[in-house]
Amino acid sequence: MLDLKFIRENAEFVKINTSNKNATEHVDLIISHDERRREIIQEVEKIKSQRNLVTKEIADLKKVGKDASEKIFAMKGVSDQIKELDDELGEVEDVVKLYIMQIPNMTHASVPIGKNADNNLDVRQWGEIKKVNHKLNHIEIATKLGIVDFERGAKVAGGGFHFYTAKGARLERALINFFLDTHTDIHGYTEMMPPFVANRNSMRGTGQLPKMAEDMYHCQEDDLFLIPTAEVPLTNYHNGEILRAEELNKRICGYSPCFRREAGSYGKDVRGLLRVHQFNKVELVKFVKPEDAFDELESLVSDAEALLKSLDLHYRVILLCTGDTSFASAKTYDIEVWSPGEEKWLEVSSCSNFGDFQARRANIRFKRDANAKPEFLHTLNGSGLATPRIMVAIIENYFDGEKLHIPKVLQKYVGCEFIA
RNA sequence: GGAGGGAUGGCCGAGCGGCUGAAGGCAACGGUUUGCUAAACCGUCGUAGGGGUUUAAGCCUCUACCGCGAGUUCGAAUCUCGCUCCCUCCGCCA
């Protein structure tokens, strides 16, 4: 959510920046309603002030035992007048809130302006395309080795769900543990095991609601959503709180399954593990001082990259253009890993700086010192990493035609050197 | 699921419908004093939103906020109703 005052004072900038994100805005509507809002406030507060004055006079009269019925009579009806204005104020404020929540975060000046993924900027690449002596994709290999079962996943839960089986399950678990261990032991994150469902307030706080409601699984009876990412519980961990400056910059990480209905995405890159309704991910979240946010974004990306280097997987980092940057983000880097089977880059991480956008929605602030005014802090998050496409890359890159070699760093977790 | 109890500022904790934006304590901050640490004393010390003023930090003023939302009343932290969360006990369950 943007600051109303900011919108008022930078209307043109907000309009342009929003359209750069291919989003629509109602800035004019917000501003006109805000004007009416301030009109009403002035009017109603004048009446309230009057009422408070007379009320005090009544109290004084009663205290000395005098008759106040004349003044009391005069005040009859004033409350109704106030209520009427307050009601209108509420309506006007609801409109402002409704539309202000729909304005995306402003992208940072360093973000290239562009319509879609074609305009994204290639920042750097690491490693190189490995020669593989097979022509199989991950589905064929995984099925052959018996480490993923797509058919039974579909039988039990539906299309887009799968089982990891036997050593496949072990390998998946190994990835999760390797990721968590690296972030906690080396990168300075504190591990959290969050709830896998969240309420509306949390979903609104991180920006999934209202826009993404259709993409989430919802438990109607309890009005809870299955989390689409651990970003939701991890960021909302501090919802409504004021942190001390010494606690910043704070890094937390956590594993969770991620649930995505992905309504409407059928037919595109959905084979096998490429796009599924439930997947595992280790998420990195930072709460930082505003002035550190963009530096922290760079280190966040490199924390995720470190994992790919350890796994010796060829990857590239791209800077998303305005049109490809998500609703709540000010700047986003994606990390993509090379898939020999698909002959494509696969997104395995998305690292974003949200500025104060989420903090404002979730009301997360900090004080620079004991007497300072609370300020909104800045939040960041990134995947470190999402496992399915890493699994694809490992399966395709490490299969030698007969057996699947286990990357060195994972061997102690999997307990073997290869799967045959 | 059943029965009770509770929610007040950064924290603890008072609060007969008007004198309570809220006592008192702690913490924090500024200062005075004592040859260090400390103690004592004085002062400051919530948030948000309007309006005014200033080049600005700021200052002045009004309004709202005692879990959330409605209601009663001239007037609600205080009374009524609904909701949420927390605690205790019972039941059920991993």
Predicted local confidence at residue A336, as pLDDT? 96
DSSP character string of A149-214: EHHHHHHHT-TT--EE-THHHHHHHHHHHHHHHHHHHTS-PEEE---SEE-HHHHHHHT-TTTTGG
A63 touches strand B (CB under 7 A): yes
Angle of CA points A97, A328, A122, to nearest 5°? 155
Question: How confident is the model at residue A264, as a pLDDT?
Answer: 55
The mean pLDDT value for A356-385 works out to 85
The pLDDT of residue A269: 65
Confidence check: pLDDT of A268 > 70: no
The Cα–Cα gap between A235 and A230 comes to: 8
d(C-alpha A96, C-alpha A98), whole Å: 6
Distance, Å, A290 CA → B63 C1': 32
A370 is near strand B: CB distance < 7 Å: yes
pLDDT tier at A132, thresholds 50, 70, 90: confident
Structure tokens at A4: 């109303």
Q: Which residue has the higher pLDDT, A297 or A133?
A: A297
- pLDDT value at residue A62: 82
Give, as one character, the DSSP assignment of residue A399: B
Residue A378 has pLDDT above 70, yes or no: yes
Average pLDDT over residues A252-261: 94
- Predicted pLDDT of residue A265: 58
Contact A148, A273 (CB under 8 A): yes
Region A384-405: mean pLDDT is 94
pLDDT digits (tens, 9 = 90+) for A145-187: 999 999 999 999 888 899 999 999 999 999 999 999 999 999 9
Poorest-confidence range of A245-259, A356-370, A386-400? A356-370
- Helices A167-185 and A293-310 pack at an angle, to 10 degrees, of 140
Angle at A284 between CA A396 and CA A204, to 5 degrees: 115
Share of chain A above pLDDT 70, in %: 98
Q: Give the tens place of pLDDT for each residue, A272-310.
A: 888 899 999 999 999 999 889 999 999 999 999 999 999
Q: Which residues contact A32 (CB under 8 A, 6 or more apart)?
A: none
Contact present, A331 and A107 (Cβ < 8 Å): yes
Among the ranges given (A228-232, A276-280, A368-372), the one the predictor scored with the smallest mean pLDDT = A368-372
In this complex, the nucleotide whose C1' atom is nearest to the CA atom of residue A38 is B50
pTM of the model: 0.89
In degrees and rounded to multiples of 5, residue A250 shows phi and psi of: -100, 135
Instruction: Tell whether the model's pLDDT for residue A73 goes beyond 90.
Output: no
Residue with tokens 């946010």: A293
**pLDDT at A60 (0 to 100):** 85
- Alpha carbon distance A91, A82 (integer Å): 14
> Cβ distance A96 to A4 under 8 Å?
yes
Q: At what angle do helices A27-63 and A11-20 cross, to 10 degrees?
A: 130
pLDDT at residue A124, rounded to an integer: 96
Please, where are the H alpha helices in A208-292? Answer: 231-236
Confirm whether any atom of chain B, the nucleic acid strand, is less than 7 Å from CB of A242.
Answer: yes
Mean of per-residue pLDDT scores for chain A: 90
Average pLDDT value for residue range A260-267: 68
The answer to whether strand B lies under 7 Å from the CB of residue A41 is yes
Does residue A374 reach within 7 angstroms of strand B, measured from its CB?
yes
Q: Is A347 left (phi over 0), alpha (psi -120 to 50) or beta?
A: beta
Please determine, for residue A267, whether its predicted confidence score (pLDDT) is greater than 70: no
Name which of A416, A409, A390, A7 is nearest A185 in CA terms.
A409
Q: Is the CB of A31 under 7 A from strand B?
A: no
Residue A256's closest CA among A280, A275, A228, A231?
A280
- Whole-number pLDDT of residue A367: 79
Chain B bases having any atom below 7 Å from a protein CB: 10, 18-19, 28-29, 45, 47-51, 62-64, 70-71, 73-75
Report how far Cα A256 is from the mean position of its chain's Cα atoms. 14
Residue closest to A282 by CA, chosen among A353, A408, A409, A381: A381
A367 beta carbon to strand B: under 7 Å? no
The answer to whether residue A263 scores a pLDDT higher than 70 is: no
